[in-house]
Amino acid sequence: MQYQKSKRLSIISIFITALCCFIFQGNTITAYGSSGFSCVFLSQYQKEIDIGDEFYLLAWTSNGKKPSWKSSDSKVASVNTYGLVTGKRAGTVKITAKISGAEMSCRVTVRKTEVSLSQKSITLERNESIKLNAKTSNGAAVKWKSSRKSVAVVDESGLVTAVKPGEAVITASVDGTGVTCLVTVKQPDVALNQELVTLFRGQTVKLKAEVSSGIAPVWKSNKKSVAFVDENGTVTAVKHGTAVITAKVDGVSRICQVTVKQPEITLSDTELTLSPGESVSLTAEVSSGNPVIWSVSNKKVAEITGDGKVTAYKKGTCYLYASEDGVKERCVLRVQ
């Protein structure tokens, strides 16, 4: 009688084991002994989650005891002593609940986080900004990074700002997945309002630069002794000659050639005859409008003041000069 009862229990155990193996294909269940049967049932046997997701896996055991939990790869998904499963990185693992004589597994797939950007390439000029938008499959926030901060920078919200001409790669990454956007910071278009200027000494002219990026250019003269330029583009002629004025922005240069020409001087008289003690005024017309500098070759014979007044002293001959920016005209004075 006892033998038949034991035989029936063995047959039932084999039947249940076969049934479990049929229902839970791909999972493992193990039974030991002919007089007893151990088994584990789980709340689910397959599960897909995102990185960072958690869920509880419930287990029912034939002996009523709490099972031990184990992950086949805790780097992909971990499980604690209460069956709380946490997705960590993309991949597939088996989460196993085990008791003495039996175990059962749940296949957990941790999905790869997908990331997409609003733009794959952009072109900017220095100081321009644009907002990149990133979408992730699990709603996680991305981390932003620039490959060349000297060219373009990006903040935590995805706002890209151009720094200088060149190329930089902006990367949005999350959970080991990254997507990129190529940022090209182009050189600006620069144009000057004048390319050739002619001035007399002391005259000024304002050069204007149109820059597509709106950045103010750096002004420079190659010959400051002839003409110099200030930070606003105002050129001042110093003396006769030629100078090149350059406006430069982000590696782009435009030039203007400045010619400071010599003036023409016309005297009211080219010859004078005076007696000792006699005075006369000499005048000069200068095309530049600048005043002349008066001088005399022999101060013992005569003198000339800054306003052109000539006074004869003693008999003799001398020359009266009117000079301006390298040009000199003379008047012959005879004192008789």
Strands 252-260 and 196-199: parallel
Question: Secondary structure of the chain: what % helix, strand, coil (to 5)?
Answer: 5, 50, 45
pLDDT at 176: 87
Q: What is the pTM of this model?
A: 0.68
Which pLDDT score, from 0 to 100, does residue 36 have? 60
160 close to 143: Cβ distance less than 8 angstroms: no
Check residue 289 and give its pLDDT. Answer: 94
Torsion 202-208-214-218 (CA) sign: negative
The pLDDT tens digits along the chain (336 residues) read 433 443 343 333 433 443 443 344 334 333 333 346 889 999 999 999 999 899 999 999 999 999 999 999 999 999 999 999 999 999 999 999 999 999 999 999 999 999 999 999 999 999 999 999 999 998 889 999 999 999 999 999 999 999 999 999 999 999 989 999 999 999 999 999 999 999 999 999 999 999 999 999 999 999 999 999 999 999 999 999 999 999 999 999 999 999 999 999 999 999 999 999 999 999 999 999 999 999 999 999 999 999 999 999 999 999 999 999 999 999 999 999
**Do the bridges between strand 209-211 and strand 190-192 make them parallel or antiparallel, or are there none, so unpaired?**
antiparallel
Identify which of 203, 317, 190 has the alpha carbon closest to the alpha carbon of residue 252: 190
CA distance 172 to 146: 9
C-alpha 71/C-alpha 55 separation (Å) is 14
pLDDT of residue 139: 87
114: which DSSP letter?
A: P
